Every structure is written in C-alpha cells, then in structure tokens.
Amino acid sequence: MTAASLPVNNSIIKQRLLQRLGHQFSDGSLFELALTHRSCGAENNERLEFLGDSILNFVVGADLFERFPEAREGQLSRLRAQMVKGETLAEIAREFDLGPCLNLGEGEMKSGGFRRDSILADAVEALIGAIHMDAGLDVARERVLCWFASRLDALALESNRKDPKTELQEFLQARRLPLPQYTVVELGGEAHAQTFTVECHCTLLKEATVGEDSSRRGAEKKAAALALKKIAESQAGGR
C-alpha cells in the first residue's frame, strides 16, 4: 500500500508525518508496516523495530565516538544509553505527532496505546529500520542524526551522570548493604494520563522517600534521587 492509497481520513496525517521524518518511501508498505503494532496481528513492526534498534545504537555510538575523542568507554556507553532510551524515543515520536498515525488493534486503541511511551518508542525504531530497508544505511544514518541533532549537540561529558537509581544501587552495593526496594503506593489518573506514586525503601534511611511521575520508572528515579539527597545530608550532619 502506498501513502497515496491510504484511507482519506488517515492519509493527511500520515503525509504530514512523512514530511516531518524527511523521507518519502519508495515502498509505502514499509512505512505502513513500521506503524503497525503487534495488536493488529502477525504482520507487525517488531522485526523492523529489532533492525532499527541495532542501527540506532550503531549510528549514535559512532557519532559519540567522533564527538568525544577523550571519553572513556563507560562514559560513551552512558551517553548512548541516554540518547537511545525509550523516554527519548517517545519524546521524538511526540515531536513528530506519530501517535495518531499508528495502526493499533481495537483494544490498544481504546486503552490509549497511541500515547504509550513504549509503543511510540518502538515505532520510532521500526521507522529507522524501514528507512534502512527502503533506501539503505547511509540514508537511515542521515535521518537518525537529523532527528537527534539537538539532543546530541546538547550533550557534555561533565554532565554525563548515571541515573539516580543506578547511583543509589552502586552506593549501597559498595557498602555491602541491601538494595533499595521500590513500591507503587498510588496509581491515579485516567489510563492515558496516569500518575505513579512510588516509595523507595533504603536501609540507611528511617523513612521511605517518595517520587511521583507519569511513568513508574520516572517515579522510581525521583524517589531514588531524594534518597541520595537525604543520605548525603545525614552523612554531612554526622561529621
């Protein structure tokens, strides 16, 4: 199916998406497949997502290697993880207004799947894979670097810190202490706009710290960041 033969009520928004992507597909069926979630059936974007994920990691990794010639392997790995994580991909998907273009099964459509970070992120990776299949690696690489340009330009080694959950875990492991435990204590909002409240229980603190965010992972990070802050304050006060 070519973009021109899409249903009338869908063709306009998909044409706009193509313009934002900066690529016109020679094979329109690849574009459609990249937007098709597994809830639609056996013909879905999972294989393209696998391919796109590999290309994305390679392209971003190679770019970081050139940008930061003095960076160590661990620093480069953390910078790449920051760029290719699901949250970043979902942000890019929203900038493209990709959600309304997704092909979803009835259940996913009703539950607001077109707003879900994981589905949006997977579709971005699938589109990278589809562009590679349609026009080759050089074109896919050029598109990826274009989409990520502002984020790559904003990176700096001195600001390349681990996320709070990793920091807290490594801090406790270094002292042979039990790992923190995260518990969802409240889930509010509608299905498409949920709010997670998470407690972080740490043996170094008498009381759990609390984080709130639109995703469970985000809430856990905020709770971990607060735990690190309180641990630092208690250690400073004990000197």
53 catalytic residue (yes or no): yes
* Opening angle at CA 115, ends 49 and 54, nearest 5: 15
* Rounded distance between C-alpha atoms, residue 51 and residue 123, angstroms: 12
Other beta carbons within 10 Å of 193: 10
**CA–CA gap between residue 205 and residue 136 (Å, rounded):** 54
Catalytic residue among 108, 117, 125, 134: 125
Tell whether the torsion through CA atoms of 231, 173, 198 and 85 is positive or negative: positive
Instruction: Give φ, ψ of 23 to 5 degrees.
Output: -145, 125
For 228, list phi and psi in degrees, rounded to 5: -60, -40
Distance of alpha carbon 130 from alpha carbon 144, whole angstroms: 12
In whole angstroms, give the CA distance from residue 33 to residue 138.
Answer: 21
167 flagged as catalytic: no
Indicate which residue of 53, 108, 122, 199 is catalytic.
Answer: 53
- Please, are residues 226 and 232 in contact by the beta-carbon 8 Å criterion? no
80-86 long-range Cβ contacts below 8 angstroms, 24+ apart: 82/155, 82/160, 83/148, 83/151, 83/152, 83/155, 84/53, 84/56, 84/57, 84/60, 86/117, 86/118, 86/121
Question: Which sequence positions are flagged as catalytic?
Answer: 53, 125
